[in-house]
Amino acid sequence: MRRLSGEPDDRGYFPNLKTLRNYVEKTGEPIDKFRFDVQVGERATERSKAKIYPEEYHLQEMEERLLYEEAAFAADIRGRDRPVDRKLNGNGKKTTNYRAIPYFNM
């Protein structure tokens, strides 16, 4: 319902970033006055300042991730150490260093 109304709640929160950006464009109010429900950063950015990546970027990222996951799975079933995740598990924190129990003896 909140998404359909396009208005902030009593705390100045929107259900998502798209609704917040639409409201700010419509009213001209500063975006810093508002937040959206699952906001991680300190403040939302206007649509004109958004990082927009081309489709090729997303395809390349997905292919790289699949290659890593395939190598990690292969290492697990062979009882070997997993390769180092270049993306550090996607959150900048070191991945847990553990060895999986092999399913097969090779």
In the chain, how many domains are there? 1
Instruction: Evaluate if residue 101 carries a pLDDT over 70.
Output: no
Whether pTM exceeds 0.75: no
Residue 53 lies in a domain: yes
Q: How confident is the model at residue 68 (pLDDT cuts 50, 70, 90)?
A: very high
Residue 57 lies in a domain: yes
Q: Of 8-17, 28-37, 75-84, 87-96, where does the model show the most confidence?
A: 75-84
DSSP string, 9-72: -TTSEESSHHHHHHHHHHH---GGG-EETT--SSS---GGG-----HHHHHHHHHHHHHHHHHH
Residue 56 lies in a domain: yes
pLDDT score of 86: 79
Residue 72 lies in a domain: yes
Residue 69 lies in a domain: yes
Specify the 3-state DSSP secondary structure of 88: helix
Mean pLDDT of the chain: 82
Residue 10 lies in a domain: no
Domain that holds residue 66: 49-78
